Chain A
Amino acid sequence: MNLDDLTRTGGEWLKGSGPESDIVMCSRIRLARNLATYPFINRASRGERADIEREFRTALTDANLDLSYIDVNSLPKLDRQFLVERQLISREHDNAEGPRGVAIGPEENVSVLINEEDHLRIQVMQSGLSLPDVWERINRLDDQIEEQLTYAFSPQLGYLTACPTNVGTGIRVGVMLHLPALVHTKQIDKVFRALHKINLAVRGLYGEGTQAFGDFYQISNQQTLGKSETELIKNLSDVVPQIISYERQARKAMIEERRQVLHDRVSRAYGVLKTAHTISSEETMLLLSDVRMGINLGLIDDLEIPTVNELFIHTQPAHLQKLQGRPLEVDDRNIARASYLRSRLANGKHTD
C-alpha cells in the first residue's frame, strides 16, 4: 500500500454520515487477542515477534481478507505519525520497536495491528452512532482470523491479554463525540464525573492520556470481564443518547439566549480560518470546532461537515508535511496550514 494514495483522501469515518452524526463523529470497537503459544509482547524476543508477525500475516492472507499490509517497523517516523493522525495505529504502536505492522481495509474502516500491546488488536470504525453494525463486522472478522490460529483463552477468564484490564472479552467499545456546547457552558466536567461513576472512560481524540482537542471526546467501557460483548455495547449505547441530548439542550439554550453572540463567534472562527496566513494546530482545532457547530446549527450554510471533519485530520503536522511533500519546521507548518485552509475554504465552498 502506498501511503501517498491516502494523503488526499479521508477515511469513511470522517464522512459525517450515519445516525446522530452532527454529534457522534464515529463508533469504534477494538478486540485484543494473543496467540496461545507465544509469550506476551514485553517478554517476547525480537525473533519471536518476527514469528508472531509472520503467523498473523499468513493467517490474514489465508483468510482472504481485503486488507493491505504495512510493515510499520520499516516506516519512517513521519509516516508512522501520519497513520496515528488517521487513527489507523496507536501512539504506542508508533513508538514501539521491532517487528510490527498494520493491515488496513478499504475506506480505512478496518485496521488490524500486529505486535502492539497484545499480539493482535483488531479495530473497526464507522461514521455516526452505529455500534451494533460495527460489532457485527468486527465479530465476523475476528471469526475469520481465528479460523487460522489458536488464541490464549481460559474458560474462567476468557481471552488472556497482556494487561489484566483487558482480559475476558478483550473489547473496547467507544464513540467519538463532538461536545462544543457542553464545553462552552462548562457542563462537561459534570458529565464526565457521571460517566466515571458508571465505569466509563473519557479520553481525547488520540486515546489514552491525550488531551481532548477540538472538543472531541471518546467515551468507552473500562470493564471487559464478567459481561458479554453485547451487554457492554448496550451499556454504552444506553448512555450515549443522554449525552447527545445534553449537548443538544446546551446548543439550543445558547442559540435561544445568545444567538448574536454565538453567530458572531462562529463567523469570526470561519473568517480567521479562511484568511489567516499563519496558524497553529491548536488554534485551528478550536476554530474548526466552532465552525462545525455553526454548520450544524444552520449559522454557516456554504460549507459541508465532511470537509470540516477532514480538515481536523489534514491540518495535523504529519498530514501537512505529506501534502507538501517535504519535512517542515513549526513556523513553516503554520504557514503551510494557513495556506491549505485558505485553499480548501476558498469562496466558502468545498474545494478539493
Chain B
Amino acid sequence: MPDDPPDLPLDTVVQGLIVAHVGELVGDLARRVCPLCGMKFMEFRISGRLGCPNDYLAFDHGLLPLLRRSHDGVTRHVGKTPRRLPSPEATESLRLRAQLRQAVACEDYEEAARLRDRLRPLPKDATR
C-alpha cells in the first residue's frame, strides 16, 4: 500500500507542480522574493498585482517577457517624466515599512515603535 501523500498546503503543492512542469528558470523565478515587500514572484503570477515598486527590479527577468507581450514588444518608457524622481531614501523607506508590518504581525510593539520613529522623518527627506 502506498504511503499517504505528505500533508502540504495547497499552494506549496501547486508551486511544486509548476516548478516540475515548467522548468528550472520558472522554478528559480517562482522562488524569488522581493527583499523590500516580501512578495514572491509566484504570488504575483497568481494575483496579477505587484507588491511594491521594487518588485520591478526584484522580478525583472520574469516581468520582461510579460511586459513585451502587453506592450507591443517594447520595454522602454518614452512618455512623461515627473519633475521629482525618487531618491535612494525611498527604497530605505519601503524596507523600514516592510519591517514595521512584520513587527506588528509578530506583536513586537517595541520594535514597531522604534521603526515608526525611524520612518517619520524619512518621507520628507525622500521627497525633498
Q: Which residues of B lie under 8 Å from residue A222 when comparing CB positions?
A: 70
Cβ–Cβ contact B70 & A165, under 8 A:
yes
Q: Which residues of B lie under 8 Å from residue A162 when comparing CB positions?
A: 49-50
Inter-chain CA distance A167–B51, complex, in Å, is 14
Cβ–Cβ contact A155 & B77, under 8 A:
yes
Given A37-B126, A38-B97, A229-B79, also A163-B84 (CB < 8 A): no
Inter-chain CA distance A230–B66, complex, in Å, is 24
Instruction: Say yes or no: is A74 at the interface (Cβ < 8 Å to chain B).
Output: no
Tell me the interface secondary structure of chain A in the complex: loop
Measured CB to CB, the closest approach of chain A to B89, in angstroms, equals 8
Cβ–Cβ contact B94 & A39, under 8 A:
yes
Cβ–Cβ contact A169 & B77, under 8 A:
yes
Given A37-B90, A39-B98, A163-B49, also A168-B63 (CB < 8 A): no
Cβ–Cβ contact B49 & A150, under 8 A:
no
From the candidates B36, B78, B86, name the one contacting A228 in the complex (CB within 8 A).
B78
Instruction: Say yes or no: is B80 at the interface (Cβ < 8 Å to chain A).
Output: yes
* Among A41-49, A181-189, A275-283, the stretch in contact with B: A41-49
Cβ–Cβ contact B77 & A158, under 8 A:
yes
Given A39-B51, A40-B51, also A153-B71 (CB < 8 A): no
Interface membership of chain A positions 43-64, coded 1 if the CB is closer than 8 angstroms to chain B and 0 otherwise: 1010010000001000000000
Q: Which residues of A lie under 8 Å from residue B97 when comparing CB positions?
A: 37-39, 48
Among A37, A40, A162, residue most surrounded by chain B Cβ atoms (within 10 Å): A37
Taking Cβ atoms with an 8 Å cutoff, the residues of B that contact A are 36-39, 47-53, 56, 63, 66-67, 70-87, 90, 93-94, 97-98, 101, 104, 122-123, 126-127
Beyond known contacts A42-B49, A147-B83, A223-B70: 9 more, CB 8 A cutoff: A42-B51, A142-B80, A143-B83, A151-B84, A153-B86, A156-B77, A160-B56, A164-B63, A226-B72
Q: List 21 A-B contacts (CB under 8 A).
A: A34-B53, A37-B122, A41-B49, A43-B37, A55-B123, A143-B83, A150-B126, A157-B75, A158-B77, A159-B80, A163-B48, A164-B56, A164-B66, A164-B67, A164-B70, A223-B70, A225-B71, A225-B74, A226-B77, A227-B74, A228-B80
Taking Cβ atoms with an 8 Å cutoff, the residues of A that contact B are 34, 36-43, 45, 48, 55, 117, 139, 142-143, 146-147, 149-160, 162-165, 167-169, 171, 199, 222-229
